[in-house]
Structure 1
Amino acid sequence: MKITEDMKVCEILDLDDRLEVLFENHGLPCSGCPGAVQETLREAADGHDIDITALLEDLNKEA
Structure 2
Amino acid sequence: MSVIDKSMSIIDIVQKYPQTVEIFRNYGMGCLGCVAARFENLEQGASAHGIDVASLVADLNKAVGQD
Is TM more than 0.5 here? yes
Deviation of 1:30 (Å): 3.0
Runs of at least 4 residues off by over 3 Å: none
Q: Deviations over 1:6-45 (max 9, x none)?
A: 0000010011222111001011113211111000000000
Give me the identity figure in percent. Answer: 33
Superposition CA RMSD, Å: 1.2
| Equivalent in the alignment of 1:10 | 11
**TM-score by structure 1 length?**
0.91
Q: Which amino acid aligns with 1:61?
A: K
Give the unaligned 5+ runs of structure 1. none
Q: Compute the TM-score of the two structures, normalised by the length of structure 2.
A: 0.86
